[in-house]
Amino acid sequence: MKSCVMGIDFGSTTAKAVILDLGGRMLASQVAHMGAVSGEGVAAAIAGALDAAGLAQADIGRTVATGYGRRMLDIADRNYTEITCHARGAVAMVPQARVVIDIGGQDSKVIAVDAQGLVMQFTMNDRCAAGTGKFFEVLARAMEIELEDMGALALQAQQSLKISSMCATFAETEVISLLAEGRSKADILGGVHAAVATRTVGLVGRVGRKGPIVMTGGVARNPAAVHYIEKALGEALILPEAPQIAGALGAALIGLDDYRREHREELEGDDALEAQMALDKACVPGCRGVPELAPPPATAPRGNAAALWKRIQSHL
């Protein structure tokens, strides 16, 4: 039996990896930025997490992948959608959360979850960039500012401009004409963030406000986005310390459930572990909240961290 499990979130602009021990403690997490879906980025995230935990690939008993690139990772034993994984990870980080807002690079989603981190209902933006990280990216470019500076600048808005169209293309031309009109970047950005917030609140409405709302995903690190969404919702969002790794953590937890169930008999003697698992309600072996897993495929051979990049690259 191995000592750890790993979750990998192979997203559109970043890759995240999380390693847990069998008691559900997080040993390491890693976020790697990359361009488009890139094998290099995901290899860096995995290798970084393994290094940080002082582990080799061979120590990992189960690997679960999520995110847009999830099916490209042959080192993963299973893959789950980011909806299932984000829900699970967010509730693990914030147990009282019943609604998860996740705004990532390519999509935004709102998920209603139960106490075990299981998806009750979810909704996502339509296919265009409206209200996603991409929308912010396009506008940052149009305004010639760094994406990272956007939030801080938007919080300095003095006047509230109402921006109602959410089409990134139209927004871009409009932003340019507003700049030409002499509007301040801060005011324009305030309007942009308020518009994204309105859109997000619409999605929250669709799944219903079931309880405390947690926000995950890269955009959760943008203070203006958080501020405007809170304003539009009329309630505070709960922000986990590392909002970006929710998906990878959820994937790891699903892997953990799976691995523990498989090794249930070997684990029975370990009192400390059993106590820990009893505390960790969502992770009790045989927990009825765990997605039922399909029969596992033949175990994939596992290499070590150094060889990862080549392997991944060959599958992209």
Judged by CB, which is closer to another protein: 210, or 311?
210
Q: Which is nearer to another protein, 163 or 224 (CB)?
A: 163
Q: Which is nearer to another protein, 54 or 234 (CB)?
A: 234
The residue among 130 and 219 lying less far from another protein, judged by its C-beta, is 130
Rounded to a whole number of angstroms, the minimum distance from the CB of residue 310 to another protein is 25
- C-beta of 169: minimal distance to another protein in Å? 10
Rounded CA separation 302/308 (Å)? 9
CA distances from 175 to 59, 142, 155, 169 (A): 51, 7, 17, 10
- Compute the distance between CA of residue 128 and CA of residue 315 in angstroms, rounded to an integer: 28
Distance CA 97, CA 282 (A): 13
Which residues have C-beta within 8 Å of that of residue 227, sequence separation ≥ 6?
155, 193
Minimum distance of another protein from residue 193's CB (angstroms)? 14
C-beta of 223 vs 291, nearer to another protein: 291
The nearer residue to another protein, 289 or 303, going by C-beta atoms, is: 289
**Cα–Cα distance for residue pair 162/77, rounded to 1 Å:** 48
**Nearer residue to another protein within complex by CB, 208 or 306:** 208
**What would the DSSP string read from start to end of 39-104?**
HHHHHHHHHHHHHHHT--GGGEEEEEEESTTGGG-TT-SEE--HHHHHHHHHHHHSTT--EEEEE-
| Whole-Å CA distances, 206 to 31, 125, 202, 210, 296 | 31, 11, 6, 11, 35
Nearest distance from C-beta of residue 33 to another protein, angstroms: 22
CA–CA separation, 77 vs 294, rounded Å? 11
CB of 285 to another protein, least distance (A): 14
SS3 of 5, please? strand
- What's the min distance (Å) between Cβ of 272 and another protein? 28
Token pair for residue 118?
A: 């299981």
Q: Which residues bind another protein (CB under 8 A)?
A: 68, 80-84, 107, 112, 114, 116, 118-122, 124, 126-127, 159, 161-167, 170-171, 173-175, 177-178, 180-182, 191, 201-202, 204-208, 210, 231-232, 234, 288-292, 294
Least distance between another protein and beta carbon 171 (Å): 5
Tokens of 283: 């992770």
